[in-house]
Structure 1
Amino acid sequence: MTDAAHDLARQLGRQAEAICRHYLSAGRRQGHYWQVGDVRNSPGRSMFVRLRDSAKGPAGKWTDAATGEHGDLLDVIRESRGLSHFSEVAAEAEMFLRLPPISREAEAPHGGKQCSSRDTVTSARRLFAAAQSIPGTIVEKYLRNRGITALHETGSLRFHPRCYYRPDPREPIQPLPAMIAAVTDLRGRITGIHRTWLAPDGSDKASIATPRRAMGHLLEHAVRFGRPDDVLAASEGIETTLSVRTALPNLPMAAALSAAHLAVIAFPPGLRRLYIVRDNDPAGVTARDSLTARANSARVEAIVLSPTLGDFNEDLRAFGVDALRARLRCHLAPEDVSRFMALSP
């Protein structure tokens, strides 16, 4: 980060709450933090912005617990306003702070490049292209260890044996094995990727601070399994999605990757019925309510599927696939039972 950008971020931090109220208006204050869905001002509770300097770091720093993304208030301004260049971000910040313009020869905050959302999408596509299909890899082992046996139509998932992980910008990069998931729009174009770093033997996620991170454009998009016609199930996590698919192998599904993103997922053309696969937590309740209201406005029938435990992967592992299938059957529309519950995909 250049001196000019660093100074600007520090001045924004002094007015962190005012910045959040202006650019992250969908959130609210919770103690010494501002809580919101994500850096793009989606409803939800997964992102936390520090409002005061503390031992954990300066005011204005934020982390999205759902995706592992993090940054400062310059990032908030850039993403919430959809700006591409640092000059635009700086001008917006200066206008808010009522400062005279700084030199436009100042570099962008990260690595001397202009902040371009196009760069992250390109990087996401390159990383996915460099990965391999999952059969026979530790990704397959990881999913099966979680009780997930429905691995058909998983072309959106790949394995990368040495995916870079950096715990902090000041720390060295670690190459670790990872499950790479393609985030796509309704036309199938990759707009981002989601990384889940894994233990070397595939027994679980890697023992690191943030084993899940996303990059690129996530808003309205999803990791997709199967092709929807007039019925779709939308959920939060990849493992939750594949757990439901293990019980309902023919049901087209989309993983939005967080509760905040689930609430704003795009509806495919011709959608008639939407199954909302929620997690059993406050964020899941908020996503359920928001998505149900959107479906009703679009004249799409919304049916909520709720787990007994925290999420459907927990249910699958605790009760088994037969019990999960029997429970889900009770909530399906009658015409969807035979359509989506056939055991052979």
Structure 2
Amino acid sequence: MMDAAHELARRLARQAEAVCRHYLSAGRRQGHYWQVGDVRNTPGRSMFVRLRNSAKGPAGKWTDAATGEHGDLLDVIREARGLSHFTDVVAEAEMFLRLPSTSQSKEALHRRTQCSSRDPVISARRLFAAAQPIPGTIVETYLRNRGITALHDSGSLRFHQRCYYRPDAHGLIQPLPAMIAGVTDLRGRIMGIHRTWLAPDGAGKAAIATPRRAMGYLLGHAVRFGGTDDVMAAGEGIETTLSVRTALPNLPMAAALSAAHLAAIAFPPGLRRLYIVRDSDPAGDKARDSLIARANAAGLEAIVLSPALGDFNEDLQTLGVDALLAGLRCQLAPEDVSRFMMLSR
């Protein structure tokens, strides 16, 4: 049965570039490799997929220099599509290869999970556990430098003094200070983490090529602030979401980390109204429209919160907290103004 799994992986490897173009579309070819941010198709340069057999190894094998994750093209399909069961991975791979579905290959690949590459969820949980709470650290300095003062219920954020960063597969690993954000499911289980490498004094992000990277299973999950309630807000970035929380300190919020993930965020049980914290760009508009449609289909009221400038952190830093308060107040449902808004500083 393992032979069937290996055969499916070999068939994918023969079309390695086509697989990468389909499932890792955020990347591009660089010589004999496909280069992308990570196996979940994040833009960037730290992951390399070998496109041809060579002395260094067979086609289809990949390594993420930033995290140490590695695997083959079956792993790419699993992670890029957010599939949790290997039977689904098999079906997806067979569809890509236009092969008839076989129960034998499904069973073989299900068993193969016992030998799969390092679980990114386990790695994410270990990294989060190794970090410390943010009070008194440069993470707090970094956020306050961006005008963010609502740091209550911020247990999803931590500080790591020496979080490894590698610019690419051939670069040297650097231990740098970082903000670690726990990405959780609706039950509060960490499914991934998001790293923001910082300058040593917390004045801003570190002066590196890609100061933000994620690891783990992000689809449907989020970085959460505050407990579950019947009303919540969901946005893209951590800083954008916390900027809104500076004005609405009692409103539960979730940062999905990207426009694509915002569009796919899971709705907690009991939710009746969703505020969509949008960014003013084409990706933000697309995420807004998709999330409104999903919310309406689920019987939820969806209300869009729009910034005056590019995003709410830009509003907070450029226009000030008073302007942010005024801009949000007129967009809220009337009953939520007194319930969630900070009416005085």
Deviations 1:255-296 (A, max 9, x none): 001111000101011111000001111110110000000000
Deviations 1:160-197 (A, max 9, x none): 00011121233222111000111111111111111110
Deviates more, 1:68-77 or 1:284-293: 68-77
Per-residue deviation, 1:342:
3.0
The answer to whether structure 1 residue 82 and structure 2 residue 83 are counterparts is yes
Alignment partners' CA distance in 2, 1:211 and 1:68: 12
Distance 1:71 1:5, change over 3 A: farther
Aligned residue number for residue 116 of structure 2 = 114
Aligned residue number for residue 13 of structure 1 = 16
Alignment partners' CA distance in 2, 1:276 and 1:83: 27
2:205 partner SS:
coil
Gap runs ≥5 in structure 2: 1-6, 50-72, 100-104
Aligned residue number for residue 342 of structure 1 = 342
Distance 1:83 1:299, change over 3 A: closer
Distance 1:336 1:268, change over 3 A: same
Aligned residue number for residue 62 of structure 1 = 36
Aligned residue number for residue 3 of structure 2 = none
Whether contact under 8 Å (1:183, 1:190) holds in the other structure is: yes
Deviates more, 1:297-306 or 1:72-81: 72-81
Per-residue deviation, 1:340:
0.6
Instruction: State the TM-score, normalizing by the size of structure 2.
Output: 0.77
Per-residue deviation, 1:78:
2.7
Deviations 1:107-153 (A, max 9, x none): x9xxxx6235xx21111111111111111100000001111111111
Q: How many pairs are equivalent?
A: 301
* Aligned residue type for 1:341: M
Whether contact under 8 Å (1:233, 1:275) holds in the other structure is: yes
Distance 1:190 1:280, change over 3 A: same
Whether contact under 8 Å (1:68, 1:214) holds in the other structure is: no
Alignment partners' CA distance in 1, 2:134 and 2:146: 15
Question: What fraction of aligned residue pairs are identical, expressed as a percent?
Answer: 66
* Aligned residue type for 1:246: T
Instruction: State the TM-score, normalizing by the size of structure 1.
Output: 0.77
Alignment partners' CA distance in 1, 2:82 and 2:149: 42
Aligned residue number for residue 49 of structure 1 = 27
Alignment of 1:164-203 (within 5 A): 164-203=164-203
Gap runs ≥5 in structure 1: 25-33, 36-47
Aligned residue number for residue 319 of structure 1 = 319
* Aligned residue type for 1:77: I
Whether contact under 8 Å (1:67, 1:257) holds in the other structure is: no
What's the Cα RMSD here?
Answer: 3.3
* Aligned residue type for 1:82: L
* Aligned residue type for 2:256: A
Whether contact under 8 Å (2:185, 2:222) holds in the other structure is: yes
Alignment of 1:71-150 (within 5 A): 72=49, 74-79=74-79, 80=81, 82=83, 92=93, 96=97, 114-115=116-117, 119-150=119-150
Distance 1:291 1:247, change over 3 A: same
Alignment partners' CA distance in 1, 2:252 and 2:217: 22
Whether contact under 8 Å (1:196, 1:213) holds in the other structure is: yes
* Aligned residue type for 2:117: C
Alignment partners' CA distance in 1, 2:148 and 2:45: 24
More RCO (CA 8 Å, sep 6+): 1
Distance 1:265 1:229, change over 3 A: same
Deviations 1:35-65 (A, max 9, x none): 5xxxxxxxxxxxx133xx455x635x43345
Deviations 1:286-318 (A, max 9, x none): 100000000000110000011122211111100
* Aligned residue type for 1:114: S
Distance 1:83 1:226, change over 3 A: closer
1:191 partner SS:
strand
Whether contact under 8 Å (2:199, 2:205) holds in the other structure is: yes
Alignment partners' CA distance in 2, 1:172 and 1:6: 31
Distance 1:200 1:65, change over 3 A: same
Aligned residue number for residue 333 of structure 2 = 333
Alignment of 1:260-271 (within 5 A): 260-271=260-271
1:162 partner SS:
strand
Deviations 1:189-208 (A, max 9, x none): 11111111001111111111
Aligned residue number for residue 157 of structure 2 = 157
Distance 1:275 1:7, change over 3 A: same
* Aligned residue type for 2:140: E
